[in-house]
Structure 1
Amino acid sequence: MNKTERLLAIVMELQRSRLRTADELAEVLGVSARTIYRDMQALSEAGVPVVGETGSGYSLMEGYFLPPVSFTVEEAVSLLLGAEFIEKRFDPAFRNSARSSRRKIEAILSGPVREETNRIQGSIRLLQKDEMDIMIREKVNLGIIRKAMQEGKKIRFTYHKRVAEADGSRVTERTASPFGLAHDEQNGWLLLASCDLREDIRHFRVTRINDLTVTDDSFQLPDNFNLQSYRPKDTRGIRVCAIFNLEVADKVDEANNYYMETAEAKEDGYHVTFRVRQPEELLGWVLGWGADVVVTEPESFKSRIKEEIKKMKERY
């Protein structure tokens, strides 16, 4: 790395972090702290507003921004695909911002890089479900949730669970403090929120939220909560075992069921174990495999499946 590349790298590092010490920059760039001191002097002489704080480190003056000089083809494709994903899967405000960002990225690409980027993008397609009511509701809900998080306000909504509670109810009224949003390949957007009803953090599929409103009640994010490092409590305490026909083993793997724990091919079939909160969570999925699967335990779940099959036979 020559001096020019190193000066640019320093500015980019300072843009990424509010404050960096000379030792931190030296470690990242593989040079000595003395070299960093000289580079800082060179940047100041070149007009870059570097601010040095004694005992703290270096930072850039508020408002200063150096746009990237260039992107590689791979970097450009990554950013443009990311922007396309946001356009398709988030609410209108972020969709418009993503579209604007995409135009700005495309505008600074050199001619050859732009041509190669367009060629690669043309060979990659992000599939999107039709704009059904459920997808529209998800995007509307995302916008309301984001607004509540920004304002630090609780939300109130009706939640439709896929599996009924012990009392048989599937629909509940909830008031919750929205802590964050996470995207899951199987479930789409998930809301992580502190639920007043359960007095604990719960996950809510955004597509199952109805009648969503922002309340006047404020909340504060706990000091010890970090969305990036947060891991939910594992409350799946019931073990379910099943044997699939070997012919469908690859399809079982491809299904990538969230509750699946282990799978092993044996002479008599493909042995799979699941761990669930309630066996009902697997009922529809297991029945979907028809005669290609047999549940071996627990006995209560086997009985439940027999009951469901009996009801199906009566309908036919």
Structure 2
Amino acid sequence: MNRIDRLSAILIQLQGKKIVKAAEIAERFDISLRTVYRDVRALQEAGVPIGAEAGTGYYLVEGYHLPPVMFSREEAAALLTGEKLMANLSDHSNKKEFSNAMQKIKAVLRGSEKDFLESLEDNIAVVSRRPPVGDEFPNRFLSDIQHALGKQLIMELDYFALHNETLTKRSVEPIGIIYMSGYWHLIAWCRLRHGYRDFRMDRIKNVAVSADPYDKTRHITLKEYTDRYGDYESKAHVVKIRFPKAFGRRIGDQKFYYGLVEEQTVGECLEMTFLAPCLEWFGRWLLLWGAAPEIVTPVELTEKMQLLATEIKQHYL
């Protein structure tokens, strides 16, 4: 990137954030801090009102705005790809907002870029294996949660927990959101459980964002949470189960809720592969199907089922 393009990009970066640290600029453009200082000085000498706070970073003086940004063909294509992803991987609230934003972006494109996007529109597809969400779970709270995160406000949730199939009311202090294994997850400090909890957003029946703020400094960051509790997929157990084909309809969408990642026909059976974070939780669901399932792997699940079956037998003796 030549210096003129870099100066323009730095100006756009400054307009996109209240305070930008010199280290952020250096990392983005792979330049030294000394070069950052020279570039900022050049912008200031050109009449751009850039302020600086010692030990904090740079900022654009209130009221200064760039003219409308023009996008390159490659940037426009990347945005179209993002729109396709959002349409399939977001919830109802964000789909609408992103679609509105894309309409504004397309409005400022040059005619050739608009033609290019129209020709590309039907040639990009995102296929999701995620099952449809029932009416009882609206799946439209991502925008509300983002608002609570940005303003650091306490939220009240009506949450349906899969492991015990109960609906509980939770008062939470959100620390972040994660997209994982086909679903959005809210990570928050739960006042009921007095600990950090992972709430899958498609299991939330209702959200109310209060006017009461919480102290963000009392909590770990989202990165600290993922470093401490993350790497979900590598910690999950790979489980292979074979069901008689006749059970396919009876199981229905439940298989998705328990972590289905693959399904194939093997002889007269349906072989389903799951990522299960907890073998006991998965095993208790498997008990619903009696002697029909055949555990292919892992051995630990077979041992867990033997213990669960023994527990039930002793209970009813």
TM bucket normalised to smaller? 0.5 to 0.7
SS in 1 for 2:225: coil
Change (3 A) 1:184 1:111: same
Inter-CA distance 100–228: structure 2 relative to 1 (3 Å threshold): farther
Alignment of 1:1-316 (within 5 A): 1-16=1-16, 18-21=19-22, 25=26, 28=29, 30=31, 33=34, 37=38, 40=40, 42-44=42-44, 46-51=46-51, 58-66=58-66, 70-86=70-86, 89-92=90-93, 94-127=94-127, 132-134=134-136, 137-139=138-140, 141-150=141-150, 152-164=152-164, 170-186=166-182, 188-215=183-210, 218-231=213-226, 233=229, 276-282=277-283, 284=285, 293-294=295-296, 296-297=299-300, 298-302=302-306, 304=308
Q: CA deviation at 1:76?
A: 1.4
Instruction: In structure 1, give the amino acid aligned to 2:173.
Output: S
Q: Distance in 2 between matches of 1:56 and 1:242?
A: 49
Q: Report the TM-score, using the length of structure 2 for normalisation.
A: 0.64
The two structures have a TM-score, normalised by structure 1, of 0.64
Amino acid at match of 1:299: E
What secondary structure is seen at the aligned counterpart in 2 of 1:175?
A: strand
Matched to 1:133, the amino acid is: D
Output one character per residue of 1:70-128: Cα deviation in whole Å (capped at 9) or x when no partner.
43333212223324544663454x44542332122212323333322332232112457
SS of the residue 1:191 aligns to: strand
- Structure 2 Cα separation of the partners of residues 258 and 244 of structure 1: 12
**Separation of aligned partners in 1, 2:122 and 2:103:** 16
Give structure 2 stretches of 5+ with no counterpart: 243-255, 262-270, 313-317
Change (3 A) 1:131 1:115: farther
Question: 2:179 & 2:48 partners in 1: Cα distance?
Answer: 39
C-alpha distance 104-53 of structure 1, shift in aligned 2 (>3 A): same
- Greater Cα shift, 77-86 or 126-135: 126-135
User: How much has 1:200 moved relative to structure 2?
Assistant: 0.2
Structure 1 residues 211, 121: closer, same or farther in 2, change over 3 A? closer
Contact 1:22 1:58 in 2 (8 A): no
Equivalent position amino acid for 1:182 in 2: I
Identity %: 26
Residue 60 (structure 1) shift: 2.4
CA distance in 1, matches of 2:27, 2:204: 49
Give the partner amino acid of 1:179.
I
Counterparts of 2:23 and 2:241 in 1: how far apart (Å)? 60
2:178 counterpart letter in structure 1 = A
Return the letter of the residue paired with 1:79: L
Gaps of 5+ in 1: 246-254, 261-269, 309-316
Change (3 A) 1:48 1:210: same
Q: Cα gap change, 1:85/1:29 in structure 2, threshold over 3 Å: closer, same or farther?
A: closer
Q: How many residues align?
A: 278
Equivalent-residue separation in structure 1 for 2:6 and 2:50 (angstroms):
15
* CA RMSD, Structure 1 to Structure 2 (Å): 4.8
- The offset of 1:197, in angstroms, is 2.1
